[in-house]
């Protein structure tokens, strides 16, 4: 499996964010996307996820059934954690597991992995910013998706949680997954780096 | 796919039950509109009984608009909508699941409250039954027409008012045939089935076109 991006151009409100971008991410490989604010890191991830149409160019995932959109092969972790304060972490994961399909591990197991098992029965409203981020990460574990698109995944995480996050990604890559990670902080696992430059 | 549909439907019902808001405020708004009428029209029991079904329908229509702005906006704000769009469940079915859950938590309580509020308007038992029945059948149409506006204004901060202005004109046919079916049920020259079948047709049309239009609007929300 391989992610191929071909001559991708994104123009947002008349301003070119990046143009003629070409890259490949191989199976088991992580790509780190770096660059200053406004360089187009988030736009790139959203385009790969199919949430934002590119101005031109193509994104394709080779090695999957031809008619499945990339969106259904990818997990997207955006700036927002997509949590409902009124639902408990366990309910949240149960919901996403049913919604996304292709079960990987049980929601309770996923909560143990991210260290939130004790918080499972309480509404997510009581979680701290870092705990919310960990719950959002736990979502990646309950359904199988080969491609992980992570936008600033370590924001609000403490050192221990960052190590936990790195372990999750390394495990995902070892099982044949791909990851594209937009970040400011260097990551603790080996990855190729793409630097997007901010155009004035 | 069915499991995903049911999961989303149940999540929205659970959220509506826990956060409240839509259901309670809608019902209180409905009650206030109906209680205002006798003050405005005057204590003429015969007149109130005659225009009662129309008052209930208009009040229910306005009460449906309460909370409709949050139908997609809440998911848009916290990022859930992105993930829903990426899920294997097709977008029209996502809209359908959310719309049905929204109707059960807002439209259905209005229809069920209508007979009690009808007592305030001196409606006969037969009229209470007729207006409740037509509201039960007709309110899903209001919800799904409203869903179009909710999808169009999902990303707007003050979308509620624009939503109302957008969808109210589209709700007029439902109002016309809802009320005429009610009055036909209470006697008159028109057979009941004539306006009632048009009301049914409008409900089916709203279910299909509302779902399709709302999912198109959500699809192209970003560009």
pTM: predicted TM-score of the whole model, two decimal places: 0.92
**How is chain A split into domains, by residue range?**
2-195
State whether A76 and B83 contact (CB < 8 Å).
yes
pLDDT digits (tens, 9 = 90+) for A79-93: 999 999 999 999 999
B82 touches chain A (CB under 8 A): yes
pLDDT digits (tens, 9 = 90+) for B185-210: 998 888 999 999 999 999 999 999 99
* Domains contained in chain B, number: 1
Residue range of the domain that includes B95: 2-219
Q: Are B73 and B159 in contact (CB under 8 A)?
A: yes
Q: Are B110 and B63 in contact (CB under 8 A)?
A: yes
Q: How far apart are CA A154 and CA B98, in angstroms?
A: 32
A78 touches chain B (CB under 8 A): yes
Q: Name every chain B residue with its beta carbon within 8 A of the beta carbon of A99.
A: 4, 7-8, 83-84, 87, 89
Place of tokens 């704000």: B77
Q: Which fold has domain A2-195?
A: Rossmann fold (3.40.50)
Band of residue B35 on the pLDDT scale cut at 50, 70, 90? very high
pLDDT higher than threshold 50 for residue A200: no
- 110-169 in A: which are within 8 Å (CB) of B? none
Quick one: tokens of A41?
């890191």
pLDDT digits (tens, 9 = 90+) for A108-164: 999 999 999 999 999 999 999 999 999 999 999 999 999 999 999 988 889 999 999
Q: How far is B139 from chain A (nearest CA, A)?
A: 27
Compare all CA atoms of chain B with the CA of A94 and give the residue at the minimum distance.
B7
Give kind and range of the element (H or E) at residue A150.
Answer: strand A147-151
Contacts of B194 (CB under 8 A, 6+ apart): B184
State whether B87 and A99 contact (CB < 8 Å).
yes
Q: Name every chain A residue with its beta carbon within 8 A of the beta carbon of B97.
A: none
Instruction: Identify the residue among A45, A84, A102, A145 best suited for mutation to test binding to B, counting B beta carbons within 10 A and taking the highest.
Output: A84
Q: How far apart are CA A110 and CA A89, in angstroms?
A: 10
* ipTM of the predicted assembly exceeds 0.90: yes
Place of tokens 């990303």: B155
């Amino acid at each position: 499996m391989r992610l191929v991006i071909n001559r991708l151009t994104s123009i947002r409100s008349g301003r070119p964010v990046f143009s003629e971008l070409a890259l490949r991410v191989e199976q088991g490989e992580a790509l780190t996307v770096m660059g200053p604010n406004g360089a187009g890191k988030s736009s790139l991830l959203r385009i790969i996820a199919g949430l934002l149409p590119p101005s031109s160019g193509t994104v394709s995932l080779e090695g999957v059934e031809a008619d499945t959109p990339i969106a259904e092969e990818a997990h997207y972790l955006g700036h927002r954690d997509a949590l409902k304060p009124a639902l408990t972490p366990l309910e949240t994961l149960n919901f996403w597991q049913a919604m996304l399909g292709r079960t990987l591990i049980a929601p309770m197991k996923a909560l143990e992995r991210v260290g939130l098992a004790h918080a499972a029965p309480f509404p997510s409203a009581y979680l701290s910013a870092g705990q919310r981020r960990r719950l959002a990460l736990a979502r990646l574990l309950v359904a199988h998706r080969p491609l992980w698109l992570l936008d600033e995944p370590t924001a609000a995480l403490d050192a221990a949680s960052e190590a936990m996050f790195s372990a999750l990604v390394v495990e995902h890559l070892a099982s044949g997954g791909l990851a594209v990670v937009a970040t400011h902080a260097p990551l603790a696992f080996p990855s190729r780096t793409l630097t997007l430059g901010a155009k004035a | 796919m069915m499991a995903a549909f049911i999961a989303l439907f149940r999540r929205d019902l659970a959220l509506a039950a826990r956060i409240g808001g839509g259901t309670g405020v809608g019902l209180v708004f409905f009650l206030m509109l109906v209680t205002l009428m006798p003050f405005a029209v005057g204590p003429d029991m015969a007149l109130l009984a005659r225009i009662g079904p129309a008052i209930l329908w208009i009040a229910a229509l306005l009460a449906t608009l309460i909370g409709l702005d949050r139908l997609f906006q809440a998911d848009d704000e916290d990022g859930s909508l992105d993930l829903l769009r990426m899920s294997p469940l097709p977008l029209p079915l996502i809209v359908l699941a959310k719309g049905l859950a929204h109707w059960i938590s807002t439209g259905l309580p209005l229809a069920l409250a209508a007979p009690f509020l009808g007592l305030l308007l001196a409606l006969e038992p037969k009229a209470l039954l007729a207006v409740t029945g037509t509201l039960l059948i007709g309110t899903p149409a209001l919800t799904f027409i409203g869903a179009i506006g909710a999808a169009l204004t999902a990303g707007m901060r003050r979308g509620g008012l624009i939503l109302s202005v957008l969808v109210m004109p589209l709700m007029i046919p439902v109002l016309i045939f809802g009320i005429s079916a009610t009055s036909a049920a209470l006697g008159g020259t028109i057979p009941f089935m004539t306006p009632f079948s048009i009301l049914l047709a409008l409900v089916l049309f709203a279910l299909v076109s509302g779902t399709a239009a709302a999912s198109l609007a959500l699809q192209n929300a970003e560009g």
